[in-house]
Structure formats: C-alpha cells, structure tokens
Structure 1
Amino acid sequence: FWLEDGFARGLHAFETLASNIQLYNDKQTVGELDLILYNHVQQQTEHWELAIKFFMGSQPFAPQDWVGINSNDNLQRKMTYMQNKQFRSVWVDTADHGRVKIDKRYGVIKGRFFLPVHYTDFTYPDWLEPTFPMHEWCDINDKTTLADLDKSSLRQAHYIEWFTKRDFYDEHQSLSSLPLGSTGQPPKAGLYFIEERPLVIYPYVSASSENKL
C-alpha cells in the first residue's frame, strides 16, 4: 500500500508492476516473488524480497548465530535462500505489464535482534548498521537468570506488540495479562516488556547445535 499510494502521490519513484507472483514448474508452485517494481529514476526493473524476522544471537554473532523462534531459521539461511532461490528469476510474467526483465534485486529484512540478557561485550559486525537497536533474550531453561528478573514489572506482550510496544496495555491492566509473578506463575515463552525494554524468553537452540547448519 505504501509503495502504490506513495507513487500515485509523487512521493517516490517506484512503480509497482506486480506483487506476490507465483512461480510454477510443470503446474506445480515452486516459489513466490514479493514485489516487482520499476525505478523511474534509474529506469530499471527491480525485484524486492521482504521479510520480517526476530533473531536471537549468540557468540560469535556471525549470521548463522542469529536464530529465529523456529530453530530451523537463522539469518544466514534466510539470506542464502533469498539469493539462491528467490533471486534466480531473470524474466517474470506480470498480469498488467507483460513479461519484464529483472535488472536489480534487493532483500529487505526488517525486524528485531536480541542479545543474551545482560551481555555487554557485543561489537557490531561490518554487515550490520551500528545504529540498529539491540534488545535482550533469556533462555527459558536459564533458571538462575530468570530468578533474578524483577517479575513484578515483567509484562507479557500482546501479539501486535511484537512490532511496537503499546502503552495502552500498561494503562489498562484489565485488558492485559497480569505482571508475571503476581500469581506466582513461571514464565512462558514469548515477548515481554520490563518497562520500555523488550525481552524475549524462549528455549534457545543455537545453529551450531543443530547439525552444523
């Protein structure tokens, strides 16, 4: 919507030629392309793949060390899949613009990165923008660290808050889950907030422990 509305209003130069294009091999679906755009400034057709990801990091913080909530998913695997699978198409058939040739390809990955709780020695790698915000995660099996958390201020996030914290839920506790520890319950897997600070509590499986991805 942002791309189409912005182009119609003259706010940017990217015209949407097609979106969510199914790829077939002998009538079997083998993939999908997110966006095919025409860049009117560079006069080139671009293929954009979009992803929203939440990755928990561990040392030495290489791309394969950032693991998703699904332990089979990590940053290295996602980037490799984009480049080797989703970026293979050169010509694309569109419904409104016929067959177009792809000139450039971009992978756009948005989301959140979480460092181990209380980790202080992190150095941004050269592939990561140094202003990218870092949050924290705690292994649900780390009983010692969990015992030290101030559970009275730990509030479990609502689904929509995986993207942006909503103070509405702080102000209306009757619509929110009670602060963790108020009923003595142990933490469940998920996203929490300690005041404004996001914290993921989740069973962590490192990439190195799952068959050396």
Structure 2
Amino acid sequence: MNIASVKTSYFEPWLQFNHPMVRQLAFTIASPNLLCHLPQSLAIQHNFQLHPDQIWEQHFQNYLPRLKQLDETPEPLLQFMSRLKSTRLGLRFENLLWFWLQEDQYHSYQLLGYSIQKIEGAKTLGELDFLVLNKETQQVEHWEVALKYYLGEGQLNLEQWIGLNREDTLSKKLYHFTDKQFQFSEALGFKVQQRFAVLKGQLYLPLNSAQDQSIPDWVNSTRRLGFWGTVIPNSNFYRLERHEWLCPNKQASSNTAYWWTDGLYYRNTENTQFYMFRHPFLLSLGLNSDEKMPLYK
C-alpha cells in the first residue's frame, strides 16, 4: 500500500453521539488498533496479540444501546470518570475501557482485576493493566492498553515512528510490551493464557511524503491517518482541546486557527483531516518554507 491508495472512508461510529465523554467512550471501544499485525522485524520475547478490527466493531454493536442511553443520561459515566484526577490522555483512555469492562452484560468478559502490581520482596516487577476472563473461550487474558500518537519520518520504518516526546517511539513501545509488560504467566492466582495489546490512537504521515511512498503493511489502514508538519496549511483548521484527541467534540471547540502552537488541529469538512503541527525549531526536517500540506481527495 502507498500513500495515494489510502482510503478516505472509515468506520467511525463514535461521531454519531452528542456528549463529549460518550463520544470518547465510543471511540475507546470501536476504534481499531493502530497496527493490523505485529511487524516481522519485531523480536518477540513474550508473545502477545492484537484484537482484529471485527472484534472491536462487534463490541461496539453490542454496546450501542448502552451508548445511546448514556448519550441521553451520561451521569453514570461522568461520575465514574470524575474519580480520575489526572489529565493524562492515556489514563483517560484506560479508565474509559475500565468503565466498559465493568458493564459485563454487554460483552463476554469478566473483569478479574485492574492495575495489578507484581511485587517480589521489596522490588516492584511491573503491573498488569487488566486481567479478564473471556467467557466464550474460558481463558484468562492479560490486556495492556496504550493510547499513542506517532509521527512517521523517513521511509516510515518501525524505528521511524516518533512520539511527541521523541524518547517515545513505536518501536520502544512494542519492545516494552514484549520484553516487560507481558512477562507475567500468572496474576491474582490465575494462569495467564492469552495476552493482548490494546494499542489505539492515531498515526501521522509527514506532509511532504510522495504519493507513491510505501506504507508498512502492519499499519492499520482502517484507522484514519493524519498528517504532521512544521508549516501552517492554508485550509481552515481549528485546534483541538487535549481531551478531543480521543474524539473531537460534535461542535467546534475553538475558532479557525490564526495563531498556531504545537498541537493537533482538525478540519471537519467533506475531506475530514487531522494535522499535528510541530514548531520547526523542535525538529530538523529540512522543509522548505513554501511547502504546502497535501490533501487527500
């Protein structure tokens, strides 16, 4: 697959809801993983899997009646989320998933434990995000969850997807999964039989990419890709609030951007686009000042 062949129609059912938190909850459930499969170049120490897109679509369909109910009366969700004092997006995502997992009349999982610390003597070995019993397979599953936003560089190889903190890379995250987070064979007295990474968020292509540039086959093309760059586009974008990185509010949360600062910008028109702007002094990219942002048609 190359950039020119990237699709422009997506399964994004979270956009149908009105309440911002319900839209974020729907995104948490329905959105696909960033990767459709693990890269072949990844050296696996402890095996883990990614849920297929169809699993998340089915979870959404099963939960749809509840989402509609929450959209009308969001108090149970708001009360649950009010306990979260941190503004970190990853923790918000994790807590939204926790809310859904507790509502087990809508899915086949029994939540056995959340945020389980593994301690040996005075040393903390690590922590498991979720331990669940899959009642369809009768297997105990360990889930590690992450909400990530990575900017592709160069030839878009595994090592060239960089986080907003350049110490955070997709490669490091995947190796952290297999080397560290999925090292445990038991928890809370249960044998771990399956391991799943729930890795969601968004990937961003460099704005100066050639249309015939190849995209790695492990990039999930069913998740809308964004752009990133260091120049200001001529189109009408507005800056998203931090929590809107999960899902933009139904109504624009700010006016069309005039003064641009680092962050995620959104254009909600016929050609919906996300654009991650980065100040040129933060990155050495060799871009020309007259470069324009390419637009999918």
Partner of 1:50: 145
Alignment of 1:110-125 (within 5 A): 110-119=200-209, 120-125=211-216
Partner of 1:127: 218
Pick the structure with more helix per residue: 2
Partner SS, residue 3 of structure 1: helix
Does the Cα contact within 8 Å between 1:124 and 1:130 map onto a contact in 2?
no
Give the CA deviation at 1:19.
Answer: 0.7
Q: Which stretch has the larger CA shift, 45-54 or 194-203?
A: 194-203
> Residue 194 of structure 1: which of 267, 270, 281 is its match?
267
**Deviations for 1:188-211, whole angstroms, at most 9, x for unmatched residues?**
1111123442111123479xxxxx
Closer, same or farther: CA 36–3 of 1 in aligned 2, 3 Å: same
Alignment of 1:97-112 (within 5 A): 99-112=189-202
Partner SS, residue 125 of structure 1: coil
Alignment of 1:12-161 (within 5 A): 12-93=107-188, 99-119=189-209, 120-139=211-230, 145-146=231-232, 149-150=233-234, 153-161=236-244
Give the CA deviation at 1:158.
Answer: 1.2
Report the Cα distance in structure 1 between the residues aligned to 2:169 and 2:152, rounded to whole angstroms.
10
Does the Cα contact within 8 Å between 1:3 and 1:14 map onto a contact in 2?
yes
Partner SS, residue 77 of structure 1: helix
Q: In percent, how many aligned pairs have the same letter?
A: 28
Partner SS, residue 244 of structure 2: helix
Report the Cα distance in structure 1 between the residues aligned to 2:218 and 2:242, rounded to whole angstroms.
30
Gaps of 5+ in 2: 1-98, 286-297
Report the Cα distance in structure 1 between the residues aligned to 2:134 and 2:200, rounded to whole angstroms.
21
> Residue 180 of structure 1: which of 249, 253, 257 is its match?
257
Report the Cα distance in structure 1 between the residues aligned to 2:163 and 2:238, rounded to whole angstroms.
22
**Deviations for 1:133-166, whole angstroms, at most 9, x for unmatched residues?**
1110013xxxxx43xx226x23211122212122
Give the CA deviation at 1:118.
Answer: 4.7
1:165 is aligned with what amino acid?
Answer: P
Q: Which stretch has the larger CA shift, 50-59 or 123-132?
A: 123-132
Partner SS, residue 173 of structure 2: helix
Gaps of 5+ in 1: 94-98, 140-144, 171-175, 207-213
Q: Which segments of structure 1 move beyond 4 Å, counting only runs of 4 or more?
A: none
1:108 is aligned with what amino acid?
Answer: V
Q: Which stretch has the larger CA shift, 26-35 or 58-67?
A: 26-35
Closer, same or farther: CA 34–56 of 1 in aligned 2, 3 Å: same
Partner SS, residue 110 of structure 2: strand
Q: Which stretch has the larger CA shift, 111-120 or 121-130?
A: 121-130
Closer, same or farther: CA 121–163 of 1 in aligned 2, 3 Å: farther
2:241 is aligned with what amino acid?
Answer: H
TM (normalized to structure 2)? Answer: 0.56
Closer, same or farther: CA 132–124 of 1 in aligned 2, 3 Å: farther
Q: Which has the higher contact order (CA 8 A, sep 6+)?
A: 2
> Residue 248 of structure 2: which of 158, 165, 170 is its match?
165
Report the Cα distance in structure 1 between the residues aligned to 2:194 and 2:250, rounded to whole angstroms.
41
Closer, same or farther: CA 137–43 of 1 in aligned 2, 3 Å: same
Report the Cα distance in structure 2 between the residues aligned to 1:110 and 1:122, rounded to whole angstroms.
24
Closer, same or farther: CA 205–2 of 1 in aligned 2, 3 Å: farther
Q: How many residues align?
A: 180
User: What is the root-mean-square deviation of aligned Cα atoms in Å?
Assistant: 2.1
Give the CA deviation at 1:102.
Answer: 0.5
Q: Which structure is larger by alpha-carbon Rg, 1 or 2? A: 1
Report the Cα distance in structure 2 between the residues aligned to 1:73 and 1:53, rounded to whole angstroms.
9
